């Protein structure tokens, strides 16, 4: 039972007017994400300990295991990107009322949340991800992880939003301006409806 690349939940060009062009999506989804899936399937084929395991199980059993680092990197990246495509929408940027209330309660204001998320995304040195998580104490928190890691592996909480800050996700649209990519993503692309649906 091989892992598969899920189709995008919208067309490749659907986000172009909001700051993520069709070529970025073609390369990012069809090439980068596919490569993670293909590599992961190769590792699973060769390692009986991974056979029949779910993606989540593989991420948790390989996290922090030096000999399984390539497995972890590719499994993590597969999981992260499946979430990432769902975390964007051609109608993105609008925060539903219940989530806005929760954000205001936990961060002080929507702007304070965005500032904290942007600080995490810009402050992640090199490749990685910024996250909005629902922590085990019931509070929303911002986190960042390097490379293919994620809150499922680190135990920092349930991931509601994950932003890819690898250069392949923004270089065609924003060149080296990661801060502009992050601000645009939070304001115009982030699917807060999806994030809210994950909290229940
Ligand atoms: Mn990526």
Mean local confidence (pLDDT), 137-162: 98
Mean local confidence (pLDDT), 75-104: 98
Q: Tell me, what's the pLDDT at 200?
A: 73
Residue range(s) occupied by CATH 1.10.287.990 in the chain: 21-86
Cα 26 from chain centroid?
17
pLDDT, mean over the chain: 98
Tell how far the Cα of 169 is from the centroid of ligand 1, in angstroms. 6
Q: Provide the percentage of residues in the chain whose pLDDT is more than 70.
A: 100
Statement: residue 81 has pLDDT above 90: yes
Tell how far the Cα of 113 is from the centroid of ligand 1, in angstroms. 23
Tell how far the Cα of 197 is from the centroid of ligand 1, in angstroms. 23
Mean local confidence (pLDDT), 134-150: 98
Q: Tell me, what's the pLDDT at 134?
A: 98
Statement: residue 193 has pLDDT above 80: yes
Total Cβ atoms within 10 A of residue 200 = 5
Backbone φ and ψ of 156, nearest 5° = -80, -5
Mean local confidence (pLDDT), 42-51: 97
Statement: residue 55 has pLDDT above 80: yes
Tell how far the Cα of 65 is from the centroid of ligand 1, in angstroms. 23
Residue range(s) occupied by CATH 3.55.40.20 in the chain: 97-199
Tell how far the Cα of 84 is from the centroid of ligand 1, in angstroms. 8
Return residues with CB closer than 5 A to ligand 1 (ion): 164, 166
Q: Which ranges constitute the DSSP H helices of 47-145?
A: 55-62, 69-86, 97-107, 110-123
pLDDT 10s digits, 62-72: 999 999 999 99
- Class of the 97-199 domain? alpha beta
The rounded distance, in Å, linking the Cα atoms of 144 and 92 is 22
Tell how far the Cα of 138 is from the centroid of ligand 1, in angstroms. 29
* Cα 95 to Cα 176, 187, 199, distances in angstroms: 28, 10, 14
Domain 21-86 CATH superfamily: Fe,Mn superoxide dismutase (SOD) domain (1.10.287.990)
């Amino acid at each position: 039972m091989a892992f598969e690349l899920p189709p995008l939940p919208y067309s490749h060009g659907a986000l172009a007017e909001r700051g993520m062009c069709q070529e970025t999506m073609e390369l990012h989804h069809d090439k980068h994400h596919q490569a993670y899936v293909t590599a992961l399937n190769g590792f699973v084929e060769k390692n009986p300990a991974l056979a029949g395991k779910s993606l989540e199980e593989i991420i948790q059993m390989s996290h922090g295991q030096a000999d399984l680092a390539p497995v972890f990197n590719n499994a993590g990246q597969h999981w992260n990107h499946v979430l990432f495509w769902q975390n964007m929408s051609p109608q993105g940027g609008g925060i539903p009322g219940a989530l806005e209330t929760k954000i205001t309660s936990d961060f002080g204001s929507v702007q304070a949340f965005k500032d904290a998320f942007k600080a995490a995304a810009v402050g992640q040195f090199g490749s990685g991800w910024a996250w909005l998580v629902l922590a085990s104490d019931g509070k929303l928190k911002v986190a960042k992880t390097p490379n293919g890691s994620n809150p499922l592996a680190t135990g920092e909480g349930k991931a509601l939003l994950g932003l890819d800050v690898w250069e392949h996700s923004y270089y065609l649209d924003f060149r080296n301006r990661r801060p502009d990519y992050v601000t645009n993503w939070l304001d115009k692309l982030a699917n807060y409806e999806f994030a809210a649906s994950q909290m229940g």
